[in-house]
Amino acid sequence: MGSAEQMKDRLGHALCLAKWKQVSLHLPTGLNNSCYHPPLHAIDPEAIKINPSLLHNTEHKKHQRQIMLQGQRPTECSYCWNMEDQGKLSDRHYRSGEPWAAVDFEQIKNSTGTEDVVPSYVEVNFNNACNLRCSYCSPQFSSSWADESQRMGPYATSTPHNSMDHFTGNRRIIPARESNPYVDAFWSWWPTLYPALEHFRMTGGEPLMDRNTYRVFDHVIENPSKKLHLNVTSNFSVEQGLFDKYMSAVKTICDGRIEHFMQYVSLDGWGSQAEYMRHGMTFDLVWSRVDQYLTQVPSYNSLTFIITMNNLSVSSLQQLLEGILELRQKHSRTYQRVWFDTPVLREPAWQSLQILPEPYVQKLQSVRDWMSQNLTTSDNLYHGFKDYEVARLDRDIAWMRSAQTQDHAVAQADFYRFFSEHDRRRGTDFLQTFPEMRDWWARCEGMNRK
């Protein structure tokens, strides 16, 4: 019985240790959440000046903890409740079963929910500086998107999309060049936080463009931590000088200073289709840097592809997975060094898997069936797929299928509105890049004319 199943019996109906032990910090906007499923909520910019641990221990989160301790299910965790109501294990079980959470089960179960907790799993984006304009991203996470929206205005979808008017008041994005009270509080908290960390992940924006990333690296190099799993999510598309600086620091850190370094690389498809989804990326450069990283960083590390499953991923997903198998063949000898995850994209609705018709579900099903014919075996431990990687794609297909009978007319019309404007602004060509989706494009164009 795996740790998730064991934890299921101990947790009961509603408790989730991630609510205490994990936090995602979005410091450009002063928002946070526990894992990445519940909606983001605000951090009090004044209170953190006195007590920086309130970056995580917000009044809102303490209230959610108390609801859980009373055996109630907080509505913000609907992602897990939907999975559990289908009789499946949810992220609540998986995360609470992880060592960095489970170690404090008794203490949390007997807590009041109002304590200030030092988490052991922290994700942080310090600022939104980024050189790409990925199709499903926003000014909140990409300064290049913010620049385009500032210059050209929002996209004329049914609701104006990525308008800078949205990012005002307490949703204002604090640019990297300005002082940021949330970042200041983070560094005040760091001496308390660092010793408790088991997983620390830097996302963005693009962390390789951010001076805070190298400040963390310098601290780790000076203060090794053998329990630390250090993770960085990157688009591997920054200019060469920055990439070289990054690689040199990572090699030093992986020279026995931490337990493990995980490099996350975002890639949602293959070749020109991958470039279309992540505007500004050069696929061959990213792929060669992945190979360089796996070749030059010799030990204590791995690489995970984050494949954000959206409706433009379906066509080239198998090619990407074939590429991953080749990397596994080349670089995974004594342990698995090349991983991938397939989280579903929920917003914007026009880029969701759920609005695609049945033939695309069948296409994804055929990829899944091909994976299940290429599983690892006892004498081929690393050059195939894991059963849970197939199970994850099953979850995506189940999620896709669960909306097949819904009316997606507005989202399909928005698909056409968004990508025809995308092509006009950015000089791209949807039909040239996705010729196999011609019928789908015509369908969306038709919805737009209605």
The token pair at 136 is 């499903």
Q: Which is nearer to ligand SF4, 91 or 423 (CB)?
A: 91
Q: How far apart are the first and last CA of the chain?
A: 54
The whole-angstrom separation of Cα 245 and Cα 265 is 17
Instruction: Name 20's Cβ contacts closer than 8 Å, sequence gap at least 6.
Output: 65, 101, 104, 108, 111, 117, 119
Q: What angle do CA 233, 239, 241 make, to 5 degrees?
A: 100
User: Taking the complex as a whole, how short is the minimal distance between the CB of residue 25 and ligand SF4, in angstroms?
Assistant: 15
User: Taking the complex as a whole, how short is the minimal distance between the CB of residue 68 and ligand SF4, in angstroms?
Assistant: 8
Instruction: Name 313's Cβ contacts closer than 8 Å, sequence gap at least 6.
Output: 268, 269, 277, 307, 353
Residue 177: CB atoms within 10 Å: 8
User: Taking the complex as a whole, how short is the minimal distance between the CB of residue 101 and ligand SF4, in angstroms?
Assistant: 10
Q: Which is nearer to ligand SF4, 23 or 216 (CB)?
A: 23
User: Taking the complex as a whole, how short is the minimal distance between the CB of residue 204 and ligand SF4, in angstroms?
Assistant: 21
Q: Which is nearer to ligand SF4, 17 or 321 (CB)?
A: 17
The whole-angstrom separation of Cα 88 and Cα 95 is 14
The whole-angstrom separation of Cα 365 and Cα 48 is 48
Q: Which is nearer to ligand SF4, 95 or 201 (CB)?
A: 95
User: Taking the complex as a whole, how short is the minimal distance between the CB of residue 98 and ligand SF4, in angstroms?
Assistant: 11
Q: Which is nearer to ligand SF4, 24 or 143 (CB)?
A: 24
Q: Which is nearer to ligand SF4, 80 or 253 (CB)?
A: 80
Q: What angle do CA 56, 62, 64 make, to 5 degrees?
A: 110
Instruction: Name 274's Cβ contacts closer than 8 Å, sequence gap at least 6.
Output: 267, 268, 281, 283, 316, 320
User: Taking the complex as a whole, how short is the minimal distance between the CB of residue 81 and ligand SF4, in angstroms?
Assistant: 8
Answer whether 327's CB lies under 8 Å from 265's CB.
no
The upper half-sphere exposure of residue 178, i.e. CA atoms within 13 Å in the direction of its Cβ, equals 12
Q: Which is nearer to ligand SF4, 20 or 293 (CB)?
A: 20
User: Taking the complex as a whole, how short is the minimal distance between the CB of residue 134 and ligand SF4, in angstroms?
Assistant: 24
Q: Which is nearer to ligand SF4, 35 or 130 (CB)?
A: 35
What does the binding site for ligand SF4 look like in residue numbers (CB under 6 A)? 16, 18-19, 34-35, 37-38, 77, 79-80, 90-92, 95
User: Taking the complex as a whole, how short is the minimal distance between the CB of residue 364 and ligand SF4, in angstroms?
Assistant: 24
